[in-house]
Amino acid sequence: MKPEQFQAALAQMGVNLNADQMAQFEQYYQYLIEVNQHLNLTRITAKEDVYLKHFYDSLMGAFAEPQLKDQPWHLCDIGAGAGFPSLPLKIAFPQLQVTIVDSLNKRIDFLRALVAKLGLTGVELVHGRAEEFSAKQSSYREQFDLVTARAVARLSVLSELCLPAVKVGGEFLAYKAAAADDELQAAQGAIQTLGGQVSSTMQLVLPTQPEPEQRNLIIIDKVAATPQKYPRRPGLPAKKPLA
């Protein structure tokens, strides 16, 4: 997907990027590739692939949750890695307040430099484990309108990492690939235990692909407070997912 195709495809979905925003995406790409030479941020490096599989893919969240386009929500991105999906969302929808959590300090350093290069404001970067970020005594617990996660863990694990950070009345938006149905079925008990309720799922495909890649966007409403004992200590949600 060339940059002009990226812009046109988004416009067809009601996401209109101006010249300044397109310039920010170009800066994002250039700096990602520069730093990726000595820090393993992504295996996807060809420009057309980055625009499709990172930038466009990240913005698909706004297709599932259109309120991202205009609401001044406080969004938290758990395990953002190189900034996906939160920073593409922030570029496209500047009114968002964004908090990014990642366990690797080198990635946080990259993101800090990237945010400065792009001239973004309203972005907070937190170095830490997701389990500790929204633990019982954390000031971040149940504070966010929307929590996102992309390519982090299976949904039964991801729910325990993300739902404790969502405020009651907020949403958790999970970016998933083709196995979403099986993951969702296996995670139903965990979602309910953590105060969530599946609101909607949207199945999409990445455009301009010889073999279209399926994407699934799952929105989980936070309908009740998460019990104080969750999330459990670091590492335990992945080792022993909630049933």
87 vs 239: CA distance, rounded Å: 30
Indicate the annotated binding residues for S-adenosyl-L-methionine.
Answer: 79, 84, 130-131, 150
For residue 12, give both structure tokens: 């067809």
Indicate the annotated binding residues.
Answer: 79, 84, 130-131, 150
Q: Which residues contact 112 (CB under 8 A, 6 or more apart)?
A: 125
β-sheet bridge partners, residue 101:
78, 126
11 vs 33: CA distance, rounded Å: 26
For 94, which DSSP code?
Answer: T
Backbone angles phi, psi at 67, to 5 degrees: -65, -15
Q: Which of 59, 43, 44, 50 is nearest to 1 (CA)?
A: 50
